[in-house]
Structure 1
Amino acid sequence: MPKLKIFVGTMYGGALDVAEQVQPLFEDAGYEVEIFDQPTLADLTDTPTDLALFCVSTTGSGDVPGNMVPFVRELDARSPGLTELRYGMIALGDGSYVDSFCGAGRSLDERLQGQGATRLGERLEIDAMETFMADDAAIPWVEEWIATQQLKVA
């Protein structure tokens, strides 16, 4: 059974809630799913990752939440090369912060691509000013992502 790892960057739990809400969709598609709410680079690189999903909220001036800082620092320091990684990105932000809207997800996306990783499809950006419950936007996006990227294995 292929493995999907969901990496969560969250400040108040919204991104973790999204991860937990979409987990059954991937299980139904035939994946063994593991959620990392204190992610490290080792979680990504030390065991095979068939597919990854990043659920990342934005804090401050476009910053990565504190629980994801070690992952990002290790990624920047080690430059592991992630040419085999296929991933999706769900970025959460607040549209009233025009210059830094979804900044954490956007910058992580650039870092991953800079390491040779391949994002499948478009990044989902969820605006807290427009969508009260982020999973209301994430669930249909994941359903469509699984279908359009032909990710179903079961």
Structure 2
Amino acid sequence: MAKLNIIVGTMYGGALDVAEQVKPLFENVGYEVDIIEQPSVDHLQADLVLFCVSTTGSGDFPGNLVPFVRALSAQSPALTELRYGLIAMGDSSYGDTFCGAGRKLDELLQDLGATRLDERLEIDAMETFMADDAALPWVEAWIERQALSGV
């Protein structure tokens, strides 16, 4: 059975809610899924990793994700085997820092050699009241595209 880790970066629970809503979609197609709220670099050892990351302050990482990002930056592991998807959540009224945490994490992962599968989903709290309304169809399409590409 293929392994998927959903790594959550959340301040008020919105990203965790998204993770919990999309988990069954992956389970229904045969993935063993763990939702991880206190991630370590070791949690990147999976067939696929999905990041659900909210942005706080001026484009900052949520507190629970800060140690993980610091460890990634400090250790600079080669992540050439990592295949991932990313759901970034933010508020466009913050301008340039909209989805800043997700964008910064995406850049860091790619700098370390990881491969993002498909485009990053950016959910704007100004347009989407319930983030899972945007995340569920995106994940369904994402799963379908990965199946079609043989991933």
Alpha-carbon distance, 1:43 to partner: 2.2
C-alpha separation between the residues in 2 aligned to 1:63 and 1:113? 19
C-alpha separation between the residues in 2 aligned to 1:24 and 1:97? 32
Question: What is the TM-score of this pair, normalised by structure 1?
Answer: 0.94
Q: Determine what percentage of the aligned residue pairs are the same residue.
A: 74
Does the 8 A contact of 1:6 with 1:34 survive in 2? yes
Residue 93 (structure 2) pairs with residue 96 (structure 1): yes
Q: How many residues align?
A: 150
Of Structure 1 and Structure 2, which has the larger fraction of its residues in helix? Answer: 2
Stretches (4+) displaced over 6 A? none
SS in 2 for 1:131: coil
Question: What is the TM-score of this pair, normalised by structure 2?
Answer: 0.96
Q: Which runs of no fewer than 5 residues in structure 1 stay unpaired?
A: none
Structure 1, residues 59-96: CA drift from partner, whole Å, max 9, x if none?
A: 01101100000000000000011000000000000010
Aligned position for 1:63 = 60
Aligned position for 1:22 = 22
Does the 8 A contact of 1:22 with 1:138 survive in 2? yes
C-alpha separation between the residues in 1 aligned to 2:142 and 2:135? 10
Q: Which runs of no fewer than 5 residues in structure 2 stay unpaired?
A: none
Does the 8 A contact of 1:86 with 1:119 survive in 2? yes
Distance 1:151 1:67, change over 3 A: farther
Letter in 1 for 2:13: G
